[in-house]
Structure 1
C-alpha cells in the first residue's frame, strides 16, 4: 500500500497534498511568506514552501526530519547516524528563506589544461578521507540519493522503480541546489532511458549538455558530474573505459592511473558486483569532454545497489536488505556520506513501527566493540536492533 498523502495546514485550512485547491494554497503561502504545518503529529510541525521549476513544493525545515512521524514523507532518521549529521550545516547549508541549498564540495568542477585532478598518491580516488566541511564525491552521490527518496522503501514501490523513475527523481533532487556557485542541475548528467526510435533526439540532447564541458583553449575546462549505472569497465586502446547503460554508443575514458586507484580502493565493491547477479553498480564521476567529443573521467566513486536501487555496502547489508524486502517491511536505508567505515551507522531504520528502530550491523573492524555498542545504545536506547554477524545468526527483526 502506498504512503497516504501528507496533510498540511495552510492559511487556517487543512489540505491533503494533491487534492483540489492544494497547489493554489501552496502558491499563496509562498507569495505571503507563510509557513505551513505538517499534521503528521497532533501538534503540527512547521515546514516551508520552495519554488520548483514552474511550481512550488512543500519541504521540511532543516534539522526537523526526525520530529516527523515515521510514516510521513518528511521523516528522516536522526542525522547523526546516517552520515548526514557530519555534513549538515557545514557542507550542506539549507536556506528556508530562499529555498536554496548550497553544497560545498571537496573536489573541483573545473580543470586547468595539462593538470591532473586525480588525488595525489595515497589519497582516495573518491576523496572519502575528508571532514564534514565539504562533501566528498561519494557524499554528493549519497546526498542526491537521499534527496531523491531512493533510500526509502515500502512494499508499494515493488516493480515501480525503473531507471526512468530513478533518473526523474535524481534530477528533481537537484532543484534549487547550488555547487561551486552555480546550479547543480546544469552540471549533472544522468543518462536518459535508451530508445532505438529516439536515438537521434537523445544523442542531440546529450551532446548539447556535454558542450558545457568541452575543451576551451586557454581557459579552465568545466567538468560535468555523471550519475549512471555501469555496464562494464574494460581495457581500451589507451587505458580503460567505462561503459554506462543507456549510453551504448559512447564509452567514458579512464586513464590507467585512476583505474588502478579505483581497483585498489574499491576492491570489495567491485568484487561483489562481479559475482552477484542481483547487484547493480552506480557510479558518480566528474568528467570533461575532449575536442574530439570523448568524455574522460577525472574522479569517480562507485556505489552498489540492489535491483530496487537500494544502496548496500557489502554482502551482509545485502542479506539484511533482502530479509526486509522479503518480509514486506517499510524502512529508510542509511548512508555514510563522508563517514569512515569504523563509525557506527544504522544500516536501515524501520518506519512501520510506532517508534522507528535502527538496524545496526556490528563487525570487528578495529573499533572497540564496547565503545561501538555504547554509542549505539546512546543514540537509540531500546530502539536499536543489533546483529553481530561474526558471532551469531541474524536475530528476529522487530515485529
Structure 2
C-alpha cells in the first residue's frame, strides 16, 4: 500500500531529493519529483531521522510520491505514509499475490475473485446465484474479494485516516475525487480499474443535463455488444434505500435520483442473508451510512442491473466500522479530537483480538486499540 501526497498533504512533510529538502507546498517541488521520476531517483521521507525510501510514480493527473510497498511501519506515526505492519491488519495474506505493486511503473495489479464480465451465453441468474463470486466474504489470499477491493480503494484513497481538521470537509465530492484517483493506477481483470469505476458526482438540478450525459457516457461500457462478452462496470455509492419494485427489487443510491438499480429476487434474498449484521447496524444506528461496491450491467432497455454487491457500513465521517462497538469507539475518538487511522480487515472475518484503530497523536509507536 502507499500514500499519494496530492490527497492529504501535511505542511511539515519533508522529502530529500538529490540532496535537497522539499515540502510538498514548496515552489519547485513538482519539478523536483518530475526530475526524480525521469532519473529513477528515490526520494526519502524525513519523518524520522534515518529517513524512509519512497518512489515517484507518474499518474494521469501528474507525479506523486508514494511509499515503497509494505514499508508503512518505517514512518513516524503522524506521517501520512504511516501504516501498521500488514500483519496487524487483513492485508498480509494478500500482498504479492492478490495485490502486486510495481514501484518501477507505479502500477498496482489486483487479482479479483469475482468477474468483471459475463459471457453472452451465461444468464443473469447464474451470475447472481454464485455467492462465491458475488459476495466474496473470504478469499484464499491469492485473489481479492469484492469487500477486499472496497477496503483497498478506501485505504488507498486516504479515507481511513482521521484528523480533527477534516471535520466538515470530508464531503461526497471529496470522497469521489479520492476514490477515482485511487483507481487510476490500478489494473484489474486486465484493464484499468479507473475506466470501469462509476462513483456518482454530487447531483445538482442546475446541472442535471450535463450530469446525466456524463453518467450515460460512463455507463456505455456496461451495455451489451453483439458478438462480445459483456463488460460489467463497478459502482461505489451510498445506498439510500432498497425497495420492492414492480419486478424484483430496486436499490436507490444517493446522487442518482432519477434512475434506480434493479435487483433480481435471488440476489436480493442473498443480500438479506449475507449482510444481516450490516443491515442491522444500518437500521438501528441513525448515524450509520451504508456504502456499496457493486458490479452492474446495462440491460437492453438501458436499465442498470446489479450483478454482485458488497455492503460496508461507515460513520458520518465515512470511516468503515464492522460492529456497533467499533462505531462507538470511532465516534468517541472523533468527539475527543483524536487523530487516528481506522484499520481494515480486508478478507479476514470479523473476530475478537484484531486491532480496530491506530492512534497517531501520542508519539511513537502508534497505539493500537481493540473495539
What TM-score range do you get, normalising by the shorter chain?
over 0.9
Q: Is the 8 A contact 2:114 2:134 kept in 1?
A: no
Larger mean CA deviation between 93-102 and 124-133 belongs to 124-133
Rounded Cα–Cα distance in structure 1 between residues aligned with 2:146 and 2:355: 21
The residue aligned with 1:150 is 159
State the 1:342 CA deviation.
3.3
Shift of 1:344: 3.8
Q: Which residue of 2 aligns with 1:384?
A: none
Report Cα offsets for 1:243-296 as digits up to 9, x if no partner: 010001000011110111110111111122122221100000000001211011
3-state SS of the aligned residue for 2:205? Answer: coil
Match of 2:367 in 1: 357
SS in 1 for 2:259: coil
Distance in 2 between the 1:69 and 1:234 partners? 47
Shift of 1:11: 1.0
Partners of 2:163 and 2:337 within 8 A in 1: yes
**Matched-pair contact (CA < 8 Å) for 1:188–1:225:** yes
Distance 1:124 1:77 in 2: 30
Distance in 2, Cα, partners of 1:200 & 1:299: 29
**Is the CA contact (8 Å cut-off) linking 1:125 and 1:262 kept in structure 2?**
no
SS at match of 1:304: strand
8 Å contact 2:127–2:134 — kept in the other structure?
Answer: no
Offset from partner CA, 1:274-322 (integer Å, 9 cap, x none): 2222110000000000121101101101000011000111111111011
Q: Over residues 21-48 of structure 1, what are the superposed CA-to-partner deviations in whole Å (9 max), with x where a residue is unaligned? A: 1000010101111111000010111000
Deviation at 1:350, TM superposition (A): 0.5
- 1:120 and 2:127 are equivalent in the alignment: no
- Asked if 1 retains the 8 angstrom alpha-carbon contact of 2:114 and 2:133, the reply is no
Q: Using the alignment, how far apart are the partners of 1:345 and 1:151 within structure 2?
A: 16
Report if the CA contact (8 A) 1:334-1:345 is conserved. Answer: no
Alignment of 1:313-328 (within 5 A): 313-328=322-337
Q: Tell me the secondary structure at the aligned position of residue 200 of structure 1.
A: helix
**What is the TM-score with the length of structure 1 in the denominator?**
0.88
Matched ranges for 1:302-381 at <5 A: 302-342=311-351, 344-354=353-363, 355-361=365-371
1:83 touches 1:345 (CA, 8 Å); kept in 2?
A: no
Offset, 1:77:
1.4
Query: Which residue in 2 is equivalent to 1:232?
Result: 241
Residue 125 of structure 1 contacts residue 261 of structure 1 at CA under 8 Å; is this kept in 2?
Answer: no
Instruction: Return 5+ residue gaps in structure 2 as ranges.
Output: 1-8
2:55 is equivalent to residue 48 of structure 1: yes
Which piece of structure 1 moves more, 71-80 or 136-145? 71-80
Q: Give ranges in structure 1 of 5+ residues lacking alignment.
A: 362-399
| Residue 207 (structure 2) pairs with residue 198 (structure 1) | yes
Residue 4 of structure 2 is matched in structure 1 by none
SS of the aligned residue for 1:143 comes to helix
Q: How does 1:203-352 map to 2 (within 5 A)?
A: 203-342=212-351, 344-352=353-361
Residue in 2 aligned with 1:163? 172
Give the alignment's TM-score, normalised by structure 2: 0.94
CA offset digits 1:11-68 (Å, max 9, x no partner): 1100011210100001010111111100001011100000021410000000101110
Partner of 1:26: 33
Local SS of the residue matching 2:35? helix
Name 2:104's counterpart in structure 1.
97
Partner of 2:17: 10
Contact in 1 for aligned 2:249/2:264 (Cα 8 Å): yes
Contact 1:91/1:132 (8 A) holds in 2: yes
Q: CA separation in 1, counterparts of 2:52 and 2:354?
A: 27
RMSD over aligned CA atoms reads 1.3
Counterpart contact for 1:81–1:344, Cα < 8 Å? no
SS at match of 1:50: strand
1:156-185 Cα offsets, whole Å, 9 max, x none, are: 111100100000100011121100111100
